[in-house]
Amino acid sequence: MRKSLLAASLLSLTVAMAPACATKKFVRTEVGTVNSKVDTLSGTVEQTQSRIQQDEARIGQVDSKAEAAGKSAEAAQNSANQAQAAARQVDTKVDKVSADLTATNANIAAGRKLVYEVTLSEDQGNFKFNKSDLPDEAKARLDAVVGQLKGQTGKDIYIEIEGHTDNVGGKETNYDIGMKRAEAVKDYLYTQHQIPLHKINVISYGEDKPVAPNNTRAGRAMNRRVVVRVLS
């Protein structure tokens, strides 16, 4: 009877202790899993922090390069502004010299008398609309002018060349075209006949001095002209 009671008691103790052992094992397993996850998370955080530090270093380098590039661009802009200012000063001086030369030549011409005058215009088969090229017909007439100049022996000859246009287009554009036409005549006289440049004065009146109405094609053709005056 005692043996039976002892066996029953041991069996009950065993049954009671079994769940306790199982619970501790489960707890240890879970704790190990959590620790493993914590370790993994810590490693991930460290890697992230390391990447952040590397990114911050790269951003710092980019900022430094951007700042240096900004300073270079600013320096380049300053240099460009200085060069532009210098160019404007040169243009101003050139314009003044040109104006003085024109005024001087005008004064010289004012004290001379007209020997003869030649007009080169589109209605005579010369300059075309919006063109400054010297046509063959104009060259032939200039050759004739030079032939007459050679007969003026012993005279101090001076040539004045005026460029004119019609009123089609802007005023400044017409002024430029008139000047180019006058310059084309001057260049021809200099390169083909060696007339000294200081003996030639060019001026553009653009559309300001028409010789015919600009409301007809024929009138506009007459206004597109170069006038060559030989003075002595």
Domain boundaries, the chain: 1-99, 112-231
Structure tokens given for 136? 């063959």
Tell me the average pLDDT across 63-90: 74
pLDDT at 126: 67
Maximal C-alpha separation, the chain: 170
pLDDT at 94: 44
- Band of pLDDT at residue 213, cut at 50, 70 and 90: very high
Count CB-CB contacts under 10 A for residue 96: 10
pLDDT at 226: 92
Is-contact 182 162, C-beta < 8 A?
yes
Q: Is 165 helix (H, G, I), strand (E, B) or coil?
A: coil
DSSP run (H or E) holding 172: helix 171-193
Higher pLDDT, 19 or 52: 52
pLDDT at 38: 57
Is the domain defined by 112-231 classed in CATH 3.30.1330.60? Answer: yes
Q: Does 203 score more than 60 pLDDT?
A: yes
Tell me the average pLDDT across 165-192: 92
pTM for the full predicted model = 0.52
Laid out side by side, the sheet with 158-164 consists of 114-121, 225-231, 158-164, 200-206
Q: Does 95 score more than 70 pLDDT?
A: no
pLDDT at 97: 43
- Give CA torsion, residues 116, 117, 123, 124, to 10 deg: 40
